[in-house]
Amino acid sequence: MNITRRSFIKSLALNSAVVAAATVFPGISFGAWKETDILSGGIQWKKTPCRFCGTGCGLLVGISGDRAVAVKGDPNCTVNKGLCCVKGYHSVQILYGKDRIKKALVRKNDTLVEVPLKEALDLVAEKMKETIKSHGKDAVSIYGSGQWSIPDGYAASKLFKGCIGTNNVEANARLCMASAVTGCLTSFGLDEPMGCYEDIDNADVFVTWGNNMAEMHPVLFSRMLANRKSKTHVKIIDFATRTTRSSQAADKSILFKPQTDLAVANAICYEIIRNKWVNWSFVKKHVSFHKGKTNIGYGTQDHFKFKDKAETVDFKEYKEFLKDYTPEKVEKISGVSAKDIKYMASLYGDPGKKVTSFWTMGMNQHTRGTWINNLVYNIHLLTGKISTPGNSPFSLTGQPSACGTVREVGTLTHKLPHGVVMQEKARKLAAKIWQVPVENIDPKPTYHTVEMFRALDRGDIRFMWIQVTNPMVTMPNLRRYRDGAKKEGRFMVVSEIYPTPTSDVADVVLPSALWIEREGFFGNSERRTQHNEQIVPTPGDTMCNTWQLIEVARRLGFKKQFPWSRKTYIEDIWNEYIQFHDNPKHRMAPYKELKARSGIQWPFVNGMETKWRYNAKYDPACKQKDFHFYGKPDNRAWIWLRPYELPAESPDSEYPFWLNTGRVLEHWHTGSMTRRVPILHKAVPESYVEINSDDADRLGITNGSKVKISSRRGSIVMKASINGRGRPPRGMVFVPFFDESYLINEVTLDAFCPISKQPDYKKCAVKVERA
Verify binding: residue 12, another protein, rule CB under 8 A. Answer: yes
In single-letter form, the type of residue at position 246 comes to S
CB 16, min distance to another protein, A? 4
Kindly tell me which of 101 and 588 has the beta carbon lying closer to another protein.
Answer: 588
CA–CA separation, 628 vs 633, rounded Å? 11
Length of the chain: 771
Distances from the Cα of 308 to the Cα of 192, 371, 377, 489, 755, angstroms: 21, 12, 19, 36, 7
**Shortest reach from residue 37's CB to another protein, in Å:** 12
- Minimum separation from the CB atom of position 218 to another protein (A): 25
Distance CA 566, CA 544 (A): 11
H-helix or E-strand spanning residue 71: strand 67-73
> Is the separation of the CB atoms in 365 and 757 below 8 Å?
no
Nearer to another protein, 30 or 96 (CB): 30
Q: How far is the CB of 608 from another protein (least distance, A)?
A: 9
> Which of 341, 399, 58, 396 shows the shortest CA–CA distance to 214?
396
Does residue number 294 form part of the binding site for another protein (CB under 8 A)?
A: no
- Minimum CB distance to another protein, residue 27 (Å): 7
Q: Which stretch binds another protein (CB under 8 A): 225-233, 273-281, 592-600, 636-644?
A: 592-600
| Cα–Cα distance, 225 to 206 (Å, whole number) | 10
* Residue 14 or 646 having the CB closest to another protein: 14
Q: What's the closest the beta carbon of residue 282 comes to another protein, in angstroms?
A: 32
Nearer to another protein, 405 or 598 (CB): 598
Interior/surface letters 715-733, b for 16+ CB within 10 angstroms, e for the rest: ebebbbbbeebbbbbeebb
Residue 13 touching another protein (CB under 8 A): yes
- The least distance separating another protein from the CB of residue 723, rounded to whole angstroms, comes to 45
Q: Does 596 bind another protein (CB under 8 A)?
A: yes
Nearer to another protein among residue 18 and residue 717 (C-beta): 18
Stretch that binds another protein, among 33-41, 92-100, 245-253, 432-440 (CB under 8 A): 33-41
Choose between 27 and 700: whose C-beta lies nearer to another protein.
27
The residue among 493 and 594 lying less far from another protein, judged by its C-beta, is 594
User: What is the C-alpha separation between 375 and 9, in angstroms, rounded?
Assistant: 59
By the rule CB under 8 A, 32 interacts with another protein: yes
Piece of 316-324, 439-447, 589-597, 668-676 that binds another protein (CB under 8 A):
589-597
Pick the piece of the chain touching another protein (CB under 8 A) from 4-12, 367-375, 440-448, 577-585. 4-12
679 belongs to the binding site for another protein (CB under 8 A): no
Backbone Cα Rg of the chain: 25
Q: How far is the CB of 589 from another protein (least distance, A)?
A: 10
Which run of H or E residues covers position 452?
A: helix 449-458
Phi-psi region of 635 (alpha: psi -120 to 50; beta: other; left: phi over 0): left
Q: Which of 217, 174, 212 is nearest to 84 (CA)?
A: 217
Q: Does 30 bind another protein (CB under 8 A)?
A: yes
- Enzyme catalytic residues: 87, 176-177, 361, 398-399
Q: Assess 575 for contact with another protein (CB under 8 A).
A: no
Taking CB under 8 A as the rule, does residue 16 contact another protein? yes
Q: Is 317 in the site for another protein (CB under 8 A)?
A: no
Q: Does 352 bind another protein (CB under 8 A)?
A: no
**DSSP 3-state percent helix, strand, coil across the chain (nearest 5):** 35, 20, 45
Using CB under 8 A, which residues numbered 35 to 64 contact another protein?
Answer: 35
Q: Please select the residue that binds another protein; options are 593, 626, 645, 686, rule is CB under 8 A.
A: 593
Strand partners, 709: 716, 768
Judged by beta carbon, residue 30 or residue 280, the one nearer another protein is 30
Q: Is residue 14 at the binding interface for another protein, with CB under 8 A as the rule?
A: yes
The reply on whether position 9 binds another protein by CB under 8 A is yes
Binds another protein by CB under 8 A, chosen from 2, 4, 18, 702: 18
Instruction: Work out which of 129, 597, 681, 725 binds another protein, going by CB under 8 A.
Output: 597
In degrees, to the nearest 5, what angle opens at C-alpha 591 toward C-alphas 586 and 596?
A: 115
Q: Are strands 657-662 and 764-770 parallel, antiparallel or unpaired?
A: antiparallel
Task: Determine if 567 is a binding residue for another protein (CB under 8 A).
Answer: no
Partners of 715 in the beta sheet? 710
Contacts of 221 (CB under 8 A, 6+ apart): 213, 214, 246, 249
Among 1, 6, 309, 567, binds another protein (CB under 8 A): 6
Bridge partners (DSSP) of residue 521 are 531
Give residues 471-510 in contact with another protein (rule: CB under 8 A): none
How far out from the chain centre does Cα 686 lie?
24
Report CA dihedral (639, 645, 650, 653) to the nearest 10 degrees.
150
H-state helical runs in 63-192: 86-89, 117-135, 150-157, 178-188
Among 2, 4, 20, 624, binds another protein (CB under 8 A): 20
Residue 334's SS3 state is helix
Shortest CB 2 distance to another protein, Å: 19
Beta bridge partners of 104: 115
Task: Tell me the number of residues near another protein by CB under 8 A.
Answer: 28
Residue 33 contacts another protein per CB under 8 A: yes
**CA–CA dist 191, 410 (Å, integer):** 11
Interface with another protein includes 25 (CB under 8 A)?
Answer: yes
Q: Which stretch binds another protein (CB under 8 A): 21-29, 295-303, 383-391, 700-708?
A: 21-29
Q: Which is nearer to another protein, 6 or 425 (CB)?
A: 6
CB nearer to another protein: give 36 or 378: 36
Write the CB contacts of 621 (distance below 8 Å, at least 6 apart in sequence).
583, 584, 585, 603, 605, 610, 613, 628, 630
Q: Which one of 2, 4, 28, 314 is in contact with another protein (CB under 8 A)?
A: 28
Cα-Cα end-to-end distance for the chain: 55
Whether the bond between 754 and the residue before it is cis, its omega within 30 degrees of 0, is no
Concatenated DSSP letters of 665-704: TT--TTSTTGGGSHHHHHHS-S--EEE-HHHHHHHT--TT
34 binds another protein (CB under 8 A): yes
- Is 10 a residue that touches another protein (CB under 8 A)? yes
271, 347 contact by CB (below 8 A): no
Indicate whether 633 belongs to the interface with another protein (CB under 8 A). Answer: no
Nearest distance in Å: CB 30, another protein: 5
Of 30-38, 306-314, 695-703, 738-746, the segment contacting another protein by CB under 8 A is 30-38
CB of 150 to another protein, least distance (A): 20
Q: Which region, judged by CB under 8 A, interacts with another protein, from 13-21, 178-186, 243-251, 290-298?
A: 13-21
Distance CA 138, CA 158 (A): 15
Nearer residue to another protein within complex by CB, 591 or 644:
591
Binding mask 602-621 for another protein (x = CB under 8 A): -----x--------------
Residue 83 contacts residue 68 (beta carbons within 8 Å)? no
- 554 contributes a contact to another protein by CB under 8 A: no
Q: Shortest gap between Cβ of 33 and another protein (angstroms)?
A: 8
Q: What's phi and psi for 60, nearest 5 deg? A: -115, 120
For residues 26 and 352, which CB has a smaller minimum distance to another protein in the complex?
A: 26
Torsion angle defined by CA atoms of residues 355, 358, 364 and 368, in that order, rounded to the nearest 10 degrees: -20
Distance (Å, whole) CA 402 – CA 526: 11
Q: Which residues bind another protein (CB under 8 A)?
A: 6, 9-10, 12-14, 16-21, 24-25, 27-35, 592-593, 596-597, 607
